[in-house]
């Protein structure tokens, strides 16, 4: 299962008999997910986006899931005693698919704070215990993508000639006062000062894609500790090969705009 993804460098992990359940009860879903992921790519401009974390860095992937019928859904669990409502809980999942054989939940944690993994996995645990889902899937940045993020951001900076804050603003970014101060400190320090481009890349990557964000190693740590058990779980890590350079600027702008609009819509609801 997922042999093509493994050959492309995707990280895959199964927990609590998820592989057997997926292959036996949902074989068409395994093929569908593999097809979607193999056809997905993330332009470097979308990764840089509005600073790396504000927009959906996987907008093309999300669009492909929606096109295949994966919809956002809010599960509401109502408990009653002798017909009297006593407790109500809701659990929202970004992508679910309902079939005759059961319901599959899927979350993409591209770049949140890593406690979001706890939230998602605990949601899966509760929903599975209540019979609402049969299996949960988590997609996040894989280990090689996490390790090479600095390389990709540096290439973007090189190709766009980012040598000062005006260059940063020219590519659509607006650093905060703290971020500007951090870069300036690295450039002007007496001991081993850095060129602006080096300082900006280091600051951007550590600030937006640091160890405390959602990526494979943080997810794997939780899986090993049993977070989310006993819900059957599939973890998928996106590889470095999914990042692209030199795509059609108009299409990239549409992806970024769609991601920003989706985030703003979610914020207005909250």
pLDDT tens per residue across span 226-265:
999 999 999 999 999 999 998 888 888 888 888 777 777 6
CB hemisphere CA count around 86 (13 angstroms): 6
- Give the structural domain span for 234: 3-75+90-269
Q: Is residue 83 part of a domain?
A: no
Q: What is the mean pLDDT of the chain?
A: 90
Tell me the pLDDT tens digit for each residue of 118-132.
999 999 999 999 999
Count the domains in the chain. 1
Q: Assess whether pLDDT exceeds 70 at residue 87.
A: yes
Predicted local distance difference test score (pLDDT) of residue 85: 74
Pseudo-torsion of CA 13, 17, 20, 24, nearest 10°?
-120
Q: Assess whether pLDDT exceeds 70 at residue 90.
A: yes
Q: What is the Cα 179 distance to its own chain's centre?
A: 23
Q: Is residue 85 part of a domain?
A: no
Give me the CATH number covering residue 133: 3.40.91.20
Share of the chain above pLDDT 90, in %: 72
């Amino acid at each position: 299962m997922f042999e093509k993804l493994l050959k492309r460098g995707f990280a895959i992990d199964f927990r609590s008999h998820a592989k057997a359940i997926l292959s036996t009860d949902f074989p068409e879903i395994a093929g569908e997910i593999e097809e979607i992921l193999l056809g997905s790519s993330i332009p470097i401009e979308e990764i840089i986006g509005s600073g790396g974390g504000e927009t959906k860095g996987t907008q093309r992937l999300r669009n492909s899931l929606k096109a295949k019928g994966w919809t956002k859904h809010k599960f509401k669990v109502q408990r009653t005693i002798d017909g009297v409502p006593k407790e109500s809980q809701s659990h929202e999942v970004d992508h679910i698919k309902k079939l005759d054989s059961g319901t599959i939940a899927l979350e993409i944690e591209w770049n949140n704070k890593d406690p979001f993994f706890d939230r998602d996995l605990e949601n899966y645990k509760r929903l599975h215990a209540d019979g609402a889902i049969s299996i949960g899937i988590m997609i996040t940045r894989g280990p090689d993508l996490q390790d090479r993020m600095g390389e990709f951001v540096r290439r973007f900076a090189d190709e766009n000639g980012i040598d000062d804050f005006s260059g940063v603003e020219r590519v659509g970014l607006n650093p905060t006062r703290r971020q500007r101060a951090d870069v300036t400190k690295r450039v002007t320090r007496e001991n081993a000062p850095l060129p602006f481009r080096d300082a900006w890349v280091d600051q951007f990557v550590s600030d937006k894609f640091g160890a405390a964000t959602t990526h494979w190693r943080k997810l794997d740590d939780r899986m090993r500790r049993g977070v989310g058990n006993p819900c059957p779980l599939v973890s998928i890590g996106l590889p470095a090969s999914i990042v692209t350079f030199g795509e059609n600027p108009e299409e990239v702008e549409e992806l970024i705009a769609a991601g920003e609009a989706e985030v703003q819509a979610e914020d207005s609801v909250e």
